[in-house]
Structure formats: C-alpha cells, structure tokens
Structure 1
C-alpha cells in the first residue's frame, strides 16, 4: 500500500493522520487515489533513472474509475500526479480542467512529454482481479514500453500497487502497539480506559507524540476551514446538473432570523458546506472518504463550537472515530465502489456517532453501541451518483447522516452499552451486503437514481 501509512500484521489500526488525509474533491477513490498513483508512478520512473527517457504516457482507467471517472475528475487527477503534484499540498486550480482541454484537442506537456486525449483510455468493463477501481499506467520510450504498473484505488485515498512488496516486512518501520482485529478486541483493550486512549497509544508508536498531536490539529484545522469556507461561498456547482449551493444562503437566513439554531438544522448546514466544497473540487479531508466528508466534521463542529474547539475534545472525538474507522476498513470496506454508500456514508455516520458519544462521556461499550446502531440503519445503502458527480444524492445524504449520528449517540447514551447486536456482527453484515449488491449500485452510475433522474 502506498500513500498513507500502511497497516501491519500486528494490528489493523490506521493512523488518524492517514484515515483523515487532507486532499481535494470531489472523490477520495476517484480523485485523490489516482493522483497518488500518478505521482507514485512518476517517482518510480525517477528512482529507476528512466523519467528522462519517457516520450509518451499511457493510462487505462478500469471499472468504476472509467464509468464515472470524468464526473469525478479522475483524468485530471492522473495528469496532476504524473506532473508530480500531491493531493495534500496541491492548489486545486492546478488540477481541474486539464481533461477538458485534452478532450477539446489540446496537447498538454508533462515534463516536456506530450499528453493527448487518446493517451487516457476508459475501460469500464475491465477490472484487475475483479477490483472495481483499477488503473494501468505505462511509460513509453518511442514505441517501446519501459515501465508499466497496475494500481488499485481502495477507498479513502488509499492505493495499492500490484506486486509491491510489503514495506513493513521484517518489522521495518514503526508499527501500532495494539493487536486488536475487531471491535471486541478494541473493547477488551479499552477496559478501564477510553477508546481514544488506546488509539493514542498507537498514534504515538507510529508518529511520536508531537507529530501525532500536530497532525490531528492540522486535520481539524482543515476540516473547520472547509466548513467555514462553505458557509460563505455561493454559486452553482460545476457539472451538467447545475446544482446550486445552499449552505451559505441557509446560514445567512439563520443569522437573520435571530433565533437559536436547532441541532438538526445546524448539522445539516455544516455538512452541506463541506460537501459543496468537495463537489466543487476544493480542499477537503477524507472522513473516511470524500463522498462522506461532511458527516464527521459537521458533528464535531456542532459538538465543540460552544466550547471553543478545545484540543482535548478534538483529539477524543477524532481518535475514537479513527479506531472505529480502522475496524470498518479492515473487516469490510470504506469504498462505495466496493460496497455501495453503506461503506462510505454508513461508516462515516458510525465513526461520527462513536466520536460524539465518547466526547459526551460515554463508556467504551456505549461508544461501540452508537457505532453499531449507526451502521445497522445504513445497511444496503447504494451508491448511484447522478451524472457520475458527487452531488446528487451525495450532498444531502451527508446532511441526513450527520443528524442521524446525533440521534444515534443520544440513543446509545440512554443505555448502559448492553445490546443484542454487536458492531462486529453488523460490520460483517455490511461486508456480505456489499458482496451481494449489484455492481450497478456501486459508484458506476448504472442503476438507481443515476438512471431514473432526467438530467436537464
């Protein structure tokens, strides 16, 4: 696995600095992942001393990356990656619009190498070993291929390069200290302490206390900036649907009303703000994906705005959510192309509910209960973006899920954490449901709303 820090054999914990990676919209799997793949391929060529020999690049997008790639900005992302740009630091304006220029017949240069529209091939019916998000990058010297790599975009901006040796083999590199594999194991470790404490142990082992603390602060600063930028930005979102932004107008209307803001209303507007920014290709944080990026920041912003965003509260929320998200990623999926939107918005709702419950003093058992209720009521949720854009139903779906996370947390805190259906059972059910789900409902825009909504 390349890009974010890899998981290791000792445990499944994915660092908060990786699960909540700072990138750009509109999609973690279709924009952030392909950009990382392009940059990784460029790095490989440079490491092998062959970058200067390249006279042509080729890119074959397969499966969902091809089916909805244009709407998700995938060709733009690949081009940016081949140019050496990184999602964590790139100016979004340096990414978007390149494919449109190629498609119009323009030739772009990548390190002096001409790139044409014909160099990017869309093959929606092709897959690598059945994976829904695969892409093949090839470098040519004249007519001879001098390098070729196949990448999988596995959700949340994470990528895998086929045939890449495990970077942690033999114990190389820092590893998490806790070896839990599921929620039951996490609860056992959290006995007498909090889930955030367990996660903090792993963050310190992976990064050291100072870097972990600074990294979490940077993640929250980016989330908060995204919300506040969305609350003041108006206009129409890019793409053929002509979807108007609503967060700024809604927030202004609330301010003019001069009345206390209802919780569900505030949560909805915060989530809309984030996902409108994402749909516009702006700076967002995967939480755990771009398509679900509004749920968790909206809940955290709502929960802490009156308390002044205290660092301890932010860490408790984000670390708890990270531990829960790691379990989803390891035992099911956080990718809509793999398991439908239950894997994206469903996982995000569970993570947000868990974080909020911990922030409000819930026990580890109540936190696990909150995550279970949240995902239980997202089972079977499909991913069928209209027009291949992360707009309908994605933006409103984040707003609904943010409100659900608050309701779920309240339910969990009413009890003592004792419940019949456990989180591990529900995550396994989500995995099975995703495996049974028709490919038409997995980010391909071939079923559901995507084919029943008439585009104007």
Structure 2
C-alpha cells in the first residue's frame, strides 16, 4: 500500500468526494495545464461538459458549483465554505468568471455548463470535459477528467493506461496490501502499527511536518463537529429537511444529572456523527475517510472516529 495517510484522510467540502471534491480538483488541474502551456491569458471562453453520474446528480451533489469554484482557483482543502455563496453569486451577477482568480472571461452557467444526461465518457461513469477557446473561437486546450473516488482524479491519458488511481510510489520500507500483511510486517520488524505507518509516511514525504498536518486534520474534524452543532435551518435539495444536530446538542447540554445513563457516550457519538453528516450535506468543510465496502470516502466515518476520540479526552 503506497498511499499516504493524507491520501486516505482528505480535507475537502461536501457532499461528495467523487462528485464535489474530484471535480474541483479536476478544475484545478486544468488551470495548471493552462498555466504550464502559458495559455491562460489567451482564453476568451470556457465550456464545461458533465457526463454520467456527474451529470445525473450534478446539482444535487453540487458538482456544478464545485467546478466553478475550482476554476476560480479555490482548492477543496482551503476553501472557506462561508465564502462560497458569495463567490458563486459574483459569477452570476457579473456574467464573468475569473480563471485562477486573475483572468476574467464572459460566463453564463446556462450557456457554458452543460449536463449530458444519459451520456457517459468511455473510461469512467464520473466524467467531465473542460474546453477553452481564444477570441477567434479556436480551441486552445481541452481535456477529459474522471473522478474515480476519494477525491482522486485521472485525466484522459492516465485513464487510457487502465490506472484505477493516480500513480503512487511503491518503494516504501514496509509495504503491505492488506491487514494480514500489515501485522506480519509489524511482527517481522518489532514495530507497532503506528510506528510502521509513520516510517512509511516519512519515506513518502507528502508533508514536511507529518505530525503537524495530522493535528491540522484533527482540528478540521473538531471544527466540523462544532459548526454542525451550532447551525440550524434546512438542508439543501428542496425536500425541506430541517437540521437536527443543534437541537439535539442543546438537549444533551441541558440534560440533568439524574437523566444520565451509561449510554450517554453513544448519544454524544451519534450527535457528532449527525453534525458531520449535516455539514457534509450543506457543502461544509469535512474530512473524508475511506469506506471499504463501496470504495468511496465517507465523511461520517471520520466524524464517528473523531467523536469517539473527542469524548475520551
């Protein structure tokens, strides 16, 4: 397993790592490609085409807004969700989008962003195409991107090589592909799981200060719980589902001593999981965690883990 723990636990925005985080990452990659080719300042128009599942659930999973925010240069792990509505409103009101936050071009979501319902790109169900043209209408650059789960994105060339995930280094000191191999490596080298994973992480060198980045992820989890417990109102989607975490939080805080029982810890765990779920639903800042059964990322999983640890402090 050559993946970093920072590939597995990612800071992003809800409601979906495949339908929201991935498309924003794809938009970031497209901007980088334009920059590398020194084409950004020549762009006069952009076309966004969403296919497959990204089209079918696009608005419901905020895929359209995620792409727009990504084209503004916003990144999933840095975006302030409170500022997102203002950024999107500015695009609509001005009729312009500032690519990478610096190059304004005319933009109408109805004209330049299209949902191709019932159509899919060949490599993966979560596909999208980004195309830019110059003032003469000539295509400057285009590329297909596939959001393959967990916030991972492949472009057309990478997808054509039958990769299921972006290439990852495999030359780690203690390689393993499953839990049995992990325990075997620990026994062979007289290491705990934590020591072995940390040794691999230092070799991968994804962050200069690993422990500080882990604490940052921990902090984002905490903030997500706090925000979820403090906010009220309705969840998006038009079903008029009312947020419940804030009310439950107040009930637990006001619970009298004689009302408490041995299962109170689970009440708090359930509350924190609900708070994270509701933050995820409104596009808040969450930490996604791996979901083995469906091979997706699951913000609820990180919420449950963080909630239990939080109550043990």
Q: Give your verdict on TM over 0.5.
A: yes
Residue 14 of structure 1 pairs with residue 3 of structure 2: yes
CA distance in 2, matches of 1:59, 1:293: 27
Question: How far apart are 1:18 and its partner, in Å?
Answer: 2.3
Query: Which string of whole-angstrom CA distances, capped at 9 and with x for unpartnered residues, describes residues 89-134 of structure 1?
Result: 12224434777887x8972332221111221111132223351111
Three-state SS of the structure 1 residue aligned to 2:129 is strand
Match in the other structure for 2:130: 137
CA separation of 1:101 and 1:210: change in aligned 2, threshold 3 A: closer
Match in the other structure for 1:187: 183
Equivalent of residue 147 in structure 1, options 141, 144, 152:
141
Give 5+ residue unaligned stretches, structure 1.
1-11, 308-456
Residue 109 of structure 1 pairs with residue 97 of structure 2: yes
Match in the other structure for 1:79: 68
Match in the other structure for 2:80: 91
Do 2:273 and 2:303's aligned partners in 1 also have CA atoms closer than 8 Å? yes
Match in the other structure for 1:38: 27
Match in the other structure for 1:262: 264
Q: CA RMSD in A?
A: 2.9
Query: Which string of whole-angstrom CA distances, capped at 9 and with x for unpartnered residues, describes residues 176-212 of structure 1?
Result: 3332223332222122443322211111112288611
CA distance in 2, matches of 1:221, 1:296: 12
Match in the other structure for 2:172: 176
CA distance in 2, matches of 1:19, 1:58: 31
Question: How far apart are 1:24 and its partner, in Å?
Answer: 1.4
Question: How far apart are 1:20 and its partner, in Å?
Answer: 1.2
CA distance in 2, matches of 1:225, 1:96: 20
Match in the other structure for 1:279: 281
Three-state SS of the structure 1 residue aligned to 2:132 is strand
CA distance in 2, matches of 1:208, 1:114: 38
Please give the residue correspondences for 1:48-447 in structure 2 after superposition, counting only pairs within 5 Å: 48-96=37-85, 107-110=95-98, 111-116=103-108, 117-141=110-134, 142-164=136-158, 175-191=171-187, 192-207=190-205, 211-258=209-256, 259-260=260-261, 262-288=264-290, 292-307=298-313
Question: How far apart are 1:269 and its partner, in Å?
Answer: 0.8
Higher relative strand content: 2
Match in the other structure for 1:435: none
Three-state SS of the structure 1 residue aligned to 2:311 is helix
Three-state SS of the structure 1 residue aligned to 2:128 is strand
Do 2:132 and 2:142's aligned partners in 1 also have CA atoms closer than 8 Å? yes
CA distance in 1, matches of 2:89, 2:241: 20
Question: How far apart are 1:262 and its partner, in Å?
Answer: 2.4
Three-state SS of the structure 2 residue aligned to 1:294 is helix
Question: How far apart are 1:161 and its partner, in Å?
Answer: 1.5
CA distance in 1, matches of 2:302, 2:220: 13
Question: How far apart are 1:78 and its partner, in Å?
Answer: 0.8
Match in the other structure for 1:23: 12
Three-state SS of the structure 2 residue aligned to 1:146 is strand
Give 5+ residue unaligned stretches, structure 2.
none
Do 1:96 and 1:281's aligned partners in 2 also have CA atoms closer than 8 Å? no
Question: How far apart are 1:149 and its partner, in Å?
Answer: 0.8
Do 1:174 and 1:205's aligned partners in 2 also have CA atoms closer than 8 Å? no
CA distance in 2, matches of 1:58, 1:98: 19
TM-score by length of 2: 0.84
CA distance in 1, matches of 2:63, 2:157: 23
Three-state SS of the structure 2 residue aligned to 1:131 is coil
Question: How far apart are 1:157 and its partner, in Å?
Answer: 1.2
CA distance in 2, matches of 1:240, 1:54: 36
TM-score by length of 1: 0.59
Do 2:279 and 2:285's aligned partners in 1 also have CA atoms closer than 8 Å? yes
Count of residue correspondences: 293
Of structures 1 and 2, the one with the larger relative CO (CA 8 A, separation 6+) is: 2
Three-state SS of the structure 2 residue aligned to 1:43 is helix
CA distance in 1, matches of 2:266, 2:58: 33
CA distance in 2, matches of 1:22, 1:180: 25
